[in-house]
Amino acid sequence: MGKIRSGLRKYAWSAALALGLGALWLAAGPSGSAYAAGDVTYQAENGVIGGTASVTADSNASAGYKVGNLNDVGSYVQLNNVSVANAGTYTITIRYSNGYPDTRTKSLYVNGVDVATVSFPATGNWNIYSTVTASVTLTEGSNTIKIQRDSADSPASDIDSIYVPGATSAWTIVNNYGPYYYINYISPGGTIVYDGGATGYYNNDVQFSETTNDAIEYTFHGTGVRWIGAKNNNHGMANVYIDGVSQGLVDTYGPVWEKQLVLFEKRNLPEGVHTLKVAVSGTKNAASTGNAIDWDAFESLQSGTKYEAESGTVGGGAATVSDTYASGGSKVGTLNSDGAYVQFASVNTPSTTGAGYYDLTIRYSNGYPDTRTKSLYVNGTKVMSVAFPATGNWNIYKEVKVAVQLNAGSNTIKIQKDSADAGGTDIDRIYVATTPRKTKVVTPTYATEDVVISDFDVTDYGADKTGAADSTVAVQKALDDCFVMGAAPSGCRRARTRSAPR
């Protein structure tokens, strides 16, 4: 099946290039991390298949297709990016058909481990469906679920879908908005092509190119990053860079078409703004028939300490409410009246780093159609007003990130509706970074209306102090951090060159 669909993929490239299509969005969606919260039904035809398994059309399947021919030992369908906010035991529901007169079995794998044998009783026909349930243990974040025919299993049983309660999408949907989550396209000839009907890819869309040096850059804030893409028999090698430093070649060749794979992962980066660049190298594995590279999705990884809102103190009309899609199963809502708040106590800075400016990431939902604001207090003092853009529903979550000054030791963080704020916005949880930013508040020689934040040394971001090398990327990272700290972009750009008024 992979080779047949590979041929269709090549035709799509040729048609798109003939029409002159250029670089478009990597994936449509809001800036920052976007969580497709909800009980998720994963369609089997969107998964990765192997062995004799194949996708077949069936009008009675839930989305018109299913995975069948699970006959030979080793045949499987695997669903990637099955993400949950909390580790625990989940009861999944598998929709299937079995036209044989007797019960058939398959092996169930979670994160590569065989965890159960699932029985699929006869359904009476191959286009008649039933469901079975299984209890599985999932880890926080992304998981894989695979249904496979092992030697002890019987052939057949077609798989339609798997329903996972409380699942979310952990992969980041990004676009060009926002100071520290954005995409930059490098394609002088406009040969990066967008496919908005790419079944089986994340969000069912993907970017691809086989033109040497075509690249996509993903600028993010965090301590790690992943590139998600596909392997296929016409895929080549990619040059990967982080902050301009080569990470080597990544081979994306595979004998069959496998999608939604983590092709590259880097962890333990310094807390801050970084840029991942993935470029077409023009080289390939000897077994590959082409040099193509996919850009499906990116995921930024964030270290820090998590504080659930429902574990905090509420007042002024705020209340804890249950929500399956909240990271801990509950959130704090009804922040409608002036003085309504949720407060996080004992927010501790690490003993090794102490006082400083720390990134604070707030996960929230806002079912109103417009942006709502709330006031942010640190240790009893209001430090800023935080904007919470609409999320589309009260059980759909997004994140905003700000920087706050924390004392060494224990701190309190409070999110409150003040008179100047709008009602609404439910708070799910906060993350506090483990390391502070290299910044400080200074008193300028000449008075300013705003707080001045200094000590953005561009050499800390990789700039060449001799001027011999291009330091554009390093300077941009310093500007991004300055912006995140709360300064206007223009203020960031002139902060180190301000002179006496004339």
What's the rounded mean pLDDT across residues 148-172? 81
What span, in angstroms and rounded, lies between the C-alpha atoms of 164 and 138?
10
Q: Report the helix count and the strand count for the chain, using DSSP H and E.
A: 3, 37
Q: What share of the chain is helix, strand, coil (3-state, %, to 5)?
A: 10, 45, 45
Nearest Cα residue to 127 out of 105, 102, 98: 98
Q: What is the pLDDT of residues 315-368, one digit of tens each?
A: 999 999 988 777 777 899 999 999 999 999 999 887 667 888 888 888 899 999
CB 325, CB 413: distance < 8 Å:
no
- Check pLDDT > 90 for residue 403: no
What span, in angstroms and rounded, lies between the C-alpha atoms of 313 and 316?
11
Q: What is the DSSP string of 308-364?
A: EGGGSEEETT-EEEE-TTSTTSEEEE---STT-EEEEEEEEPPTTT-SEEEEEEEEE
Q: What is the pLDDT of residues 480-495, one digit of tens each?
A: 656 554 444 444 544 3
What span, in angstroms and rounded, lies between the C-alpha atoms of 487 and 368?
28
What span, in angstroms and rounded, lies between the C-alpha atoms of 403 and 399?
13
Q: What is the pLDDT of residues 39-92, one digit of tens each?
A: 577 889 878 888 999 999 998 988 788 999 999 999 999 988 787 756 788 899
- Check pLDDT > 50 for residue 14: no
Q: What is the pLDDT of residues 406-420, one digit of tens each?
A: 999 999 999 999 999
Query: Taking the domains of the chain in order of start, what are their residue ranges?
Result: 2-33+171-301, 37-168, 305-432, 443-494
Superfamily of domain 305-432: Galactose-binding domain-like (2.60.120.260)
Non-local (6+) Cβ contacts of 471 within 8 A are 458, 462, 463, 464
pLDDT value of position 267: 81
Instruction: pLDDT band for 185, please (50, 70, 90 cuts).
Output: confident
What token pair was written down for 210? Answer: 């086989």
Q: What is the pLDDT of residues 99-148, one digit of tens each?
A: 999 999 999 999 999 999 999 999 999 999 999 999 999 887 678 899 99
Instruction: pLDDT band for 497, please (50, 70, 90 cuts).
Output: very low
The residue behind tokens 């998590």 is: 306
What span, in angstroms and rounded, lies between the C-alpha atoms of 499 and 268?
39
What span, in angstroms and rounded, lies between the C-alpha atoms of 239 and 218?
14
CB 369, CB 434: distance < 8 Å:
no
User: Rounded to the nearest 10 degrees, how much is the dihedral formed by the CA atoms of 145, 151, 154, 160?
Assistant: 20
Same fold flag, 2-33+171-301 and 305-432 = yes
Q: What is the pLDDT of residues 323-333, one digit of tens each?
A: 877 777 789 99
What span, in angstroms and rounded, lies between the C-alpha atoms of 186 and 189?
9
pTM of structure: 0.46
**Through-space distance between the first and last CA atoms of the chain, rounded to whole angstroms:** 73
Measured in whole angstroms, how far is the alpha carbon of residue 204 from the centre of its chain? 15
Fold classification of 2-33+171-301 is Jelly Rolls (2.60.120)
Lowest mean pLDDT among 163-167, 218-222, 475-479: 475-479
- Out of 3.60.110.10, 2.60.120.260, 3.40.718.10, 3.40.50.920, the CATH code matching 37-168 is 2.60.120.260
What span, in angstroms and rounded, lies between the C-alpha atoms of 155 and 157?
7
Lowest mean pLDDT among 30-39, 173-182, 290-299: 30-39
